[in-house]
Structure 1
C-alpha cells in the first residue's frame, strides 16, 4: 500500500524537521514494514513550466514544429511533434539532465541538447505519459501535449512546485498489516504516528444525521450476519465533472486513477479512512435497496453487457428489479455513474470478511474494496467515512441537498474487554513499565484503561475489536511495541532443560527416507495437502469419509488427502513426459473424517491425522516382473536397514486400484498396514499414464515399530569356502516364495547357511499349472572344505524338505 505523507499531515501535524529515515524505522519497528520511502519530486528534477511564445513549422520536417519557449527568463528553441501546441500555451518542459520515457514507453532516458533534422532543440516539451502523469492528465490522439495553462505558475517554475508534487510516498508491505484493518487508510496510519511521537490527532468533520427522509429511501438487510451495518444517503443537486486537482493528485499519488468527482469522492474516502463506499445513480434504483443472498440461477449484468451467473453463497445488493451489484466486490451495469447522473445514493456498509473473501476468490476479482473488507473492517468505521464523504460533497457541490438517510445497524459491535495482571505483564516483558506510560501510549491508540491494584482492565477500541486484539498477549504486544523494542534488554531464557528426548518415531522416519533416497536412489517429493478430483476418482473411487475444504484453491481440488497415492500418480504423469524409468516417494500426513481425537481440549475434536509413506516405481510396461521384484525388494529389506520390526506379505484384500494378479498386502504381525501393487490399466488410463507401468506402495508410518536399541554381534569370516548350490524344482503355480523360504529356514543343519531366490520360469517345457523355480542354497563348514558328496547330501536334504512339504519335483534336464 502507498501512503502520502502530505495526506497524513491533514490528520496529525508532523514536525517540519521530521527525519524520513527515522520515521520509516520507527513505523517498521512498531507497526508496519516500510519497504521504501520515495520523494515524489525527484522524478521531476530539471523539469519546469514553459510558456510557448511562438510555434513555427520545422524547415525540414512536415510533422515537427519549432517552439520558441520561455523557460524562465530565457527563450529557447524546442523541437516538438505535438499537434495541439499553440502560442501562449503552458507546457511541461524537460530541460537537459531530466529523464523521460520516449512516447511513454521503455526505460527513462536522459534529455540532452540535440539536433532534430538540422535544428537544435533545447530539451523536450512533454506529453503526460512521458513523465509518468498519464493517469493524472490523460490525453487523446488530438491533444497529446500536456496543457498546463490552467495552473497559476509563471514560466520557469519547477514542475514539482507547480503541480504540488513535493510529497513523500511510503511503500508499506501489505503482508505486514494483514491483521490490521485499521491501517488500510491514511487516518489509521496517522493515528499510529501520532501515538509514536505523542502528537494530537485532528478529528474528521461531523455530519448531521438528523435528516428528513423526504426521498422515501428504504434499506432492508435480510442477512445481518453477512452485512452487520448498511447506511444509505440520498444526495441531490449533483453533476458529473472532474474532481479538483488536489483530490485527483492525492488519489494518483497512492496508485489509483482519478475518474470523475462522484467516483473520486468514494475512492478518496476509502483511501483516507480504509472504509469502502459506493455511489449509485438514484434513477437506476427501482424501489428500495435490499441486501440479501443471491437466488438460484440469478445473474448480475456487467458493464460490458454480459451476465455473470451467481452463487447462492454470494451476498448481493439488489432492488425490486433484481441484482445491482456483488456486495463489497464489484458493481453491475445498473449501479454505474453516467454522464447524466444528478443524484446518487451513497452506500457505506460493513460486510463479513469471510464472505467477501469467498466471493472475490470465486470470481477471481480482488478489488481495492474487497481487499479491505477481507481484513474485517469494523462497522463503526462507517461513521468516519460518512462524515468525510458529506464534507467532501458539500465542498465540491455547494448546492447539493441531502434528501434521505438510513442507517441499518441492528447489532452494535461489542468492544473487546481484557483483564491483564501487571505482574504477568512485567514477567513477560522482563521490565516494569510505569502505569502512566502504559495509560498514555494505549490511550493514544484508543484504548480505555482502568487500574485496580495488580489488575489492568482494558476496553479495546472498535477498530481493533474485530479479532485483532482479543487476548492479554495482544495487550502485551501493544505495550511493548509502543514502548519500543529497543528499550528492552536481552535476557536469558528462564526455562530449564531436563534432558534429551529419544524420539524413536522421528529417528525411524529419517532412516526410512535415507534408506529410500540413498540406498535405492528414489527421489523424495512434496505435494499439496489437497487432491485433484481426476486422481481421486481414478485411485480412491470412494470419497466417503474424506474431508473437504470450504474454500478450495480450485473447483476440482476441494478434497484433503486421505491417501498419498492420488498425488503420487499426479507426479508420475508430470514426470512421464521426461523420463521412461524413475521412482519417487513421499512421507506426509493424511486426514480422515473418522477416529476423532482431542489432543488439546475435550471440547475440540480433530479428524484423524496419520503419517503415511508411499512410493511409485515407474518403468517399461514390458518389464513388469522386474519392476515388481524391485519394489518388493525395497519394502522387504526396509526393516533390516532401518532397524524396525519386519513385514510379511499376504493376499487378503485387493485395493480398488490394483491389478488382479500383481498385488500384496503388507502386514505387521496380524495387522495390515499397507499395500504393494501394480496400478491396473483402468486406473492408469484415468490418471493419464500412457506408456509406463507403475508399482505403488503405501504404508501407515505411525504403525511401524522401531527397535528400542541395536544389538550388534560379531561373526568371524568363514575360514573355509562357502558353496552356492543352484537347484531347479517344479512347484504348483500358486506356491509362493515365502512358503518355500519358510520351509528352508526350518532346516537345522550346521552345513546349511541359507537360501535365496534366483529365478522363476514358465514355458513349453513346464507342465500346465506348474512353474520352475531356481533356488540358490549356501552350503559350507566352519571346520573344513566340504567334499562333493557332503555338498550333495546337504542339498538333497533341503530338496527332500521341499518335496515333502510343498510337493516339489526335481526338474528334468
Structure 2
C-alpha cells in the first residue's frame, strides 16, 4: 500500500516528520517497506528559459539551443526534441546530473561537432511518466533557475507499507491515518461529504440476483459528463504510487479506492442494454477484461451483466466493452459489496489479481456503500461535470453488530504489557471501537474491522498501539535436569554440512522454494506447479537449488561483487517427493592474488570437486571409495562435469562447470560458473545408529612410505580408472593414491599419455622390508595392467 506524505495529511492533522511517521508505523505493526522522495533524485534539475533555437549545422533533426538556467551564464545545449523552441520554459539538467530515466550521467560532450553543456529533459527521462515525444513544456511564468522538483510539488515522500491480510482497514490512506491518530501522532480528519440529492429518477434498473455473492449493489447515473484528462494534482498522486492515469472518471475510482479502501466501477451508460444485474455466471460465458485478456467463467462466479451479456467480473475487474472513453457522456457508478470468500475463489480460479480483488477478498467496510457512492459522485461531478440521478439500493449489506466481552487485565496476561484500563479504553475508542465499561467490558467492533472476533484480538489492538517494542523478550521456562537431544539424524547432518560449508568460506543464502517456470526449464522443468501462485515468477517448485543461487549470483555480480561463493541447504522437489540437498555456486575471481598466475583467477570444475569432497567427508561419506563418473545432469557442461558415486547408480553429488545454455537463461552468459549439488539423503549411514560412517582418527605409530609410478595409458582412459585399480591392489597397505602429473609429447607414443601416480603405503605393527615393498609394487603394476596401463620405462 503506497501513499504520499501530503496524501496522508489530507486525512491526518499532524506536524510529524516523515521519519517520525515511518517509525510509528513500524512500531504499531504496519511494516514500512520503503520511503522514497522523487525530489531527491531530481535535485540537480532546474527550470530553464530557452533563449534561442537554431538548426544544427550537421543534422536536420537537431537544434542548438541557448539556455538560461539561472546560473548567470548562457549555456549551449544540443536538443533533438521536435517541440524545442525559442522562448519556452523547460527542465534543464546540467553536466554531472544523473538522468534516472535514461540511466546516464550528463557531461560536456560534442554532438555532431557542436558542444553541448547539459540536456533539456522529457517526462520519461525524469521518470515522471511515459511521454517522450518532446521535452517538458512549463508555463511562461515558471521561475527560471528554481529547483524543478520543489516548484512542481514533487517534494513529497512516497511511503510503501506492507499490509497483512487481516488488516483490510489499512488498504486505504484513511485507515492508516486512523491508526496513526490512535498512536498519538495527530488527529484523524472526519470524512466530510454530504449526501447528494438526485435530480431525476435512475433511468436503468439495478438489481442483485446473487444475494450470496453480491448482497448489496448500489448505483446511480450521472449524465452530461465530459471525460477528459484528470487534473495535474490527481495525475501526480496516482503516478507517485505507481498508478497510470487514464481519464478523469477512471482516475476518480482509483483515487477513492486508494484513499478509503473502497473499490468502485464506472460504466458507459450508452453501452448497457436493459437492466444491470449482479448474478452468477452462466456455463460457457466469457468476458474480455480491461487487461485485454478473455476469461471463461463458471456458475460459481459472480458477474455484473446486462441483457446482452457479462460486463464485469464482480469485485475483481471490469470489462472492456462497457468501459468509459473520451466520448462518454452518461455514466453509471457502481458501489457494491461482494462476499470475500467468493472473490478469493474466483480470483484463484481465473489466476487474476487486481487492486479491487486485494480489497474485496480481505473484506471492505459494508457500512461504507452510501458514503463511498457520495464521495465518488461528488468527485465525478467536480472533475467531469454532469447531473446525478437518484440512488438505487439493491439488496442489503451484511451490517450485523459484533460485540466482544473484554477484561483489561487480558492485556498483561496475553500481551505481556501492563497498560492502564483508561489508556486501553482511549486506544480502542480512537480506533473506532465503542466501549461500555463494567466488570467485563462490552466492546462493539466497528464495521471496518472484520478481523476482530474475540478478546485476544482486542489485546493485539491495545498492544500494537501502545507499541510492539514494549513487549519484552521472555524465554520459555526450562525443565530441570539435562535436556535430552531432540534433533533428528537428518537435522544433525544438515547442521554439520552447513557449518562445514561456512567454515570453508562459502556464504549461506536462503532463496525461495518457488521459482519461475523459465528458471526451472534448464533443470528439466518442475514436477510441481502451483495452481494459485503468488506471482508468475514464483509458480514452480524448484527441481534444484541452483536456480535460486544463480539468481542471487547474478544480483551480486550486477552490484559489483568480484567473487561469488554461495551455498544453500534446502529441499529439491521432484516427482517422487522432497530431497534434502546442499548446493553451492562459485563464480568470478578467487581473490586479488592466486598461485596460478600471481593475479586474480577464476574458478574451474576442480574447485567445485574439492569443495564437494570436503563437505561429503564432513558428512561421513566414504570419500576414498567415491568414483568420479560421467553423466552429470544436462545443466552442466558435458566435458567439464562428473558425478561422485558409490558405484554406477548411487550418486552422492554432481559437480562441474555449468552449461552455457543454462548460464544464458540466468543472464550470466560469457562467464565461467561452477557449481555442485550434494544429495544428503544418498549419503549412507551406520545401520541402527544415528551417526555416520566416519570413524575417530587414530594416528599410525610408524611413518608412511611413498612410491611414485608412471604408467602409459590410451588417451581416452580416465585417470580415476587407474587410481581405483591401484587402490584395490593392496587395501591394507595402500592408504592413499593421487595423480600428480599428466604428460604427452616426446617419449610418449602417439595416442597415449603418461600418468604419474603417488602411492602412500602405511605399515602396521612393523616397518616394511624391501621384499614386502617389492611385492606390493608388483601387485600395483599388475592391477594397472588389468585396466590397460603399462609401466613407463
TM-score (norm: length of structure 1): 0.60
2:410 to 424, 428, 431: 424
1:42 aligns with 2:40: yes
Q: Which residue of 1 aligns with 2:87?
A: 88
5+ long unaligned stretches in structure 2? 498-511, 515-529, 541-571, 581-630, 636-642, 653-678, 692-793
Deviations 1:430-481 (A, max 9, x none): 454222211222111111111103x2221111111x2x21121111111111
Q: Which residue of 1 aligns with 2:649?
A: 581
Distance 2:531 2:80 in 1: 58
Distance 2:282 2:371 in 1: 33
Q: Which residue of 2 aligns with 1:655?
A: none
Query: For residues 126 and 210 of structure 1, do their structure 2 counterparts lie closer, same or farther at Cα, with a shift above 3 Å needed?
Result: closer
SS, match of residue 62 in structure 1: strand
Distance 2:293 2:474 in 1: 63
Query: For residues 37 and 82 of structure 1, do their structure 2 counterparts lie closer, same or farther at Cα, with a shift above 3 Å needed?
Result: same
2:147 to 144, 158, 161: 158
Larger radius of gyration: 1
Distance 1:49 1:445 in 2: 45
Distance 2:184 2:17 in 1: 12
TM-score (norm: length of structure 2): 0.62
SS, match of residue 347 in structure 1: strand
Asked if the contact 1:418–1:458 (Cα under 8 Å) also holds between the matched residues in 2, the reply is yes
Q: Which residue of 1 aligns with 2:171?
A: 184
Asked if the contact 1:356–1:374 (Cα under 8 Å) also holds between the matched residues in 2, the reply is yes
Distance 1:154 1:405 in 2: 48
Distance 2:407 2:293 in 1: 59
Deviations 1:171-228 (A, max 9, x none): 22x3x42221111111111111222225222222324255365233322212222223
Query: For residues 565 and 307 of structure 1, do their structure 2 counterparts lie closer, same or farther at Cα, with a shift above 3 Å needed?
Result: closer
Query: For residues 33 and 432 of structure 1, do their structure 2 counterparts lie closer, same or farther at Cα, with a shift above 3 Å needed?
Result: closer
Deviations 1:709-762 (A, max 9, x none): xxxxxxxxxxxxxxxxxxxxxxxxxxxxxxxxxxxxxxxxxxxxxxxxxxxxxx
1:66 aligns with 2:134: no
SS, match of residue 63 in structure 1: strand
SS, match of residue 299 in structure 2: coil
Q: Which residue of 1 aligns with 2:6?
A: 6
Deviations 1:264-301 (A, max 9, x none): 11111111111111110001111111111111111213
1:458 aligns with 2:443: yes
Distance 2:188 2:491 in 1: 62
The 5 A counterparts of 1:520-669 are 567-568=575-576, 581-582=649-650, 640-641=688-689
Q: Which residue of 2 aligns with 1:765?
A: none
Q: Which residue of 2 aligns with 1:202?
A: 189
Distance 2:374 2:210 in 1: 26
Q: How many residues are matched?
A: 542
Distance 2:479 2:240 in 1: 55
Q: Which residue of 1 aligns with 2:467?
A: 484
Distance 1:424 1:349 in 2: 38
Query: For residues 70 and 570 of structure 1, do their structure 2 counterparts lie closer, same or farther at Cα, with a shift above 3 Å needed?
Result: same
Q: Which residue of 2 aligns with 1:350?
A: 337
Cα distance, 1:318 vs. partner?
A: 0.5
Q: Which residue of 2 aligns with 1:474?
A: 457
Deviations 1:740-798 (A, max 9, x none): xxxxxxxxxxxxxxxxxxxxxxxxxxxxxxxxxxxxxxxxxxxxxxxxxxxxxxxxxxx
Query: For residues 60 and 210 of structure 1, do their structure 2 counterparts lie closer, same or farther at Cα, with a shift above 3 Å needed?
Result: closer
Distance 2:633 2:274 in 1: 61
5+ long unaligned stretches in structure 1? 519-526, 530-548, 558-563, 585-614, 619-630, 644-813
SS, match of residue 203 in structure 1: coil
Deviations 1:77-96 (A, max 9, x none): 21111112122222111123
Query: For residues 424 and 339 of structure 1, do their structure 2 counterparts lie closer, same or farther at Cα, with a shift above 3 Å needed?
Result: closer
1:168 to 145, 153, 157: 157
CA RMSD of aligned residues (A): 3.9
Cα distance, 1:6 vs. partner?
A: 0.6
Distance 2:417 2:323 in 1: 57
Asked if the contact 1:209–1:405 (Cα under 8 Å) also holds between the matched residues in 2, the reply is no
Cα distance, 1:307 vs. partner?
A: 4.7
Cα distance, 1:235 vs. partner?
A: 0.7
SS, match of residue 370 in structure 1: helix
